Amino acid sequence: MKVLLENLSKHFGKVIAVHEVNLEVRDGEFVALLGPSGCGKTTTLLMIAGIYQPTAGTIKFGERVVNFLPPKERNIGMVFQSYALYPHMTVFANIAFPMILKKVPQVKMRENVKKVADLLQIGNLLDRHPGQLSGGQQQRVALARALGKEPDLLLFDEPLSNLDAKLRLRMRSEIKRLQMELGITSVYVTHDQVEAMTMADRVAVMHEGRLLAYDTPDTLYNRPSTLFTAGFIGSPPMNFLPMRLERKDGAVCLDTGWLCLPLSAEQGDVVARSHMGANVILGIRPEHLAIVPEGDLKATVYVVEPLGREDLVVLRVDENELRVLMPSPFRGEVGQMVSVRLDRSKLHLFDPQTEQALL
């Protein structure tokens, strides 16, 4: 089932939780709503679920406007961060509950419960109560409960946040596999960008109630359209340096006191018309910087953070910090002067006022 949000807004009194969000979820697609806490992603999800009614805008399931449809008539399944299982019912009753309410015949219901329980490997837990299960098992039950009623739409509200790191990794791949196998349209809310990037077909980046970017993980990472997206996605985060766009020796250059970086003719053409002589923000990811004998700029080593496979080297130049990912082990002393090269094909330029990407 296709889901369409058009100019969707939600106000709580004077607080604007969600502001004019436009989003299309294709049939069978897995979309992640990604953003820091308080950005309005859960509010958006609860509006799709029918728990909150939008202040303005429309929600469409397929061609049907569902703004005022109560949750029970939307045929959706939802998995919560807190699991939200019914503690007074057995696992079997928990999974069967939505089907009983949907008036699924007894025989089919038992079949369905068994099917989803086997799918999620909780077939042996059906007689227990949620209180007797571990967090991971509870999350499986919650997932089974959402899947059992064969919903048209699956909603996830940070379902993995309460699990430990190892289990989270495993559930991540399991949810993705299940979603692909069953082909149920899914909306997944998370603040964890790795979850969003690894699981979703498309990621919607939200900030302060607005939808800032909506694209495939690959595009968001390699061609971010706004400064916020560029800084939010990727860990360690992108480096940002204030620059001035000048013309030197016939080429368009990024210039500050300690760096003069000529752009390629192609890049130069794009930005020169609008921003010649103006301030811009240069963004470059830590993996696109390298410490080499002869580079573009000189900087001092400030801290070295070993990450295992790589070392994160924090450099200082002027008042700016630069993060560089180097293969481990990095041989260098704190305080040492090193030379850094920028991968010119991986530069990002942003307008400091509009925060839009220029390249």
**Which stretches of the chain bind other proteins, using CB under 8 A?**
46, 49-51, 70-72, 74, 76-78, 80-82, 84-88, 97-98, 101-102, 129-131, 145, 149, 155
How many CB atoms neighbour CB 131 within 10 A?
9
User: Least CB distance from residue 48 to other proteins, whole Å?
Assistant: 10
d(CA 144, CA 159): 13
Comparison of 105 and 257: residue with beta carbon closer to other proteins = 105
CB atoms within 10 A of CB 95: 29
Burial class (CB in 10 A: 0-12, 13-18, 19+), 250: exposed
CB 94 → other proteins: shortest distance, Å? 9
CB 137, min distance to other proteins, A: 15
What whole-number distance in Å separates Cα of residue 193 and Cα of residue 190?
7
Distances (CA, A) of 83 to 16, 133, 192, 328, 355: 28, 12, 18, 40, 38
Q: Which is nearer to other proteins, 101 or 276 (CB)?
A: 101
Smaller CB distance to other proteins: residue 105 or 327? 105
- Residue placing its CB nearer to other proteins in the complex, 141 or 326: 141
Residue 142: what residue type? Answer: A
For the sheet with 76-79, list strands across it: 76-79, 153-157, 185-190, 30-34, 202-207, 210-215
| Smallest gap from residue 148 Cβ to other proteins (A) | 10
Looking at the DSSP bridge assignments, the partners of residue 160 are none
Smallest separation, CB 149 to other proteins (Å): 7
Least CB distance from residue 68 to other proteins, whole Å?
A: 14
The position carrying tokens 């700016």 is: 320
Closest CA to 78 of 50, 39, 111: 50
Nearer to other proteins, 131 or 335 (CB): 131
Q: In terms of CB distance, is 74 or 202 closer to other proteins? A: 74
330 within 8 A of 311, measured Cβ to Cβ: yes
CB of 144 to other proteins, least distance (A): 12
- Pick the closer one to other proteins by CB: 160 or 227: 160
Are the beta carbons of 144 and 83 closer than 8 angstroms?
no
